[in-house]
């Protein structure tokens, strides 16, 4: 499997076509499929309708099946791009104290705690998620770690509670994303990582309906300039940007989309 993954990474066009075929044939096992853009006038109503989608009780088991395969390959030494980018962002923090604390917002079943262990990053991990079902699974798989049910827009933690805060591929599912950014910055002592964030440039922010592991959800693709402005408004300075995928419009090089991870440092207030 790792050989196949490595080979496909050398041919992104073929990889993309195979992914789309898989999504059409097996939407319930695909991470994301069947995207439909939501027109501006319906964004609020669709956001409200789909607000609880990630609380679906059958979603954790479907996601975990994919995660277990990825973790097995990662433990054997294979390169998993989303894990590699995550650890690269952490390793680029030069002055991270030993045994630093890390909060993952949108932790799902807590599997990034294993990524930290496999990578030899000695961070004190804590996870939180909006979904009771995901947190129940996380607590059963990793009984030695702490997990909380939390709303990313209204976290219960104290200011500056964690050395590093990771927004783990959840910002794209939160209609009130400005509040989620503000809360991530508030509870971070110094660093915030926005991991796996879909962005567009040359175009405004886009909203989509999609199937995530067979469950209908909302996904937001952020105008990158506007997203970076929001980081600045909430006192976050981007130290490094890691790109997982990027597609430039073949007809207009000023337009495109990408999946990025942003490492930010909290600015001291004067």
The domains of the chain are located at 31-266
pLDDT for res 30: 53
Which residues lie closer than 8 Å to 40 by C-beta, 6 or more apart? none
CATH superfamily of 31-266: Vaccinia Virus protein VP39 (3.40.50.150)
Q: Which residues have a Cβ under 8 Å from the Cβ of 213 and sit 6 or more positions away?
A: 28, 29, 30, 31, 59, 62, 63
Q: What pLDDT, on the 0 to 100 scale, is given for residue 52?
A: 87
Residue stretches of the chain with pLDDT short of 70: 1-30, 269-270
pLDDT score of 163: 98
Quote the CA–CA distance of 127 and 54 in Å, as a whole number.
16
């Amino acid at each position: 499997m790792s050989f196949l993954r490595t080979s496909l990474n050398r041919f992104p066009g073929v990889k993309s076509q195979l992914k789309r075929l898989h999504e059409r044939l097996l939407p319930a096992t695909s991470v994301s499929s069947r995207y439909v853009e939501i027109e501006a006038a319906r964004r609020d109503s669709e956001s409200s309708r789909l607000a609880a989608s990630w609380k679906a009780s059958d979603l954790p088991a479907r996601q975990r099946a994919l995660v277990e395969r990825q973790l097995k390959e990662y433990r054997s030494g294979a390169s998993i791009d989303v894990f590699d980018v995550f650890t690269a962002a952490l390793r680029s923090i030069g002055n991270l104290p030993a045994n630093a604390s890390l909060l993952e917002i949108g932790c799902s079943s807590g599997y990034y705690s294993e990524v930290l262990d496999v990578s030899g990053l000695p961070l004190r991990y804590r996870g939180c998620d909006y979904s009771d079902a995901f947190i129940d699974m996380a607590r059963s798989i990793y009984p030695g770690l702490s997990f909380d049910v939390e709303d990313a827009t209204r976290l219960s933690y104290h200011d500056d509670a964690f050395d590093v805060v990771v927004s783990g591929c959840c910002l794209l599912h939160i209609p009130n994303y400005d509040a989620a950014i503000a809360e991530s910055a508030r509870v971070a002592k110094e660093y915030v990582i926005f991991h796996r964030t879909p962005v567009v440039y040359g175009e405004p922010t886009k909203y989509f309906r999609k199937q995530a592991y067979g469950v209908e959800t909302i996904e937001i693709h952020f105008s990158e300039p506007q997203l970076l402005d929001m980081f600045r408004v909430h006192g976050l300075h981007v130290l490094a940007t890691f790109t997982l995928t990027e597609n430039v419009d073949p007809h207009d090089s000023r337009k495109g989309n990408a999946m990025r991870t942003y490492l930010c440092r909290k600015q001291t207030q004067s």
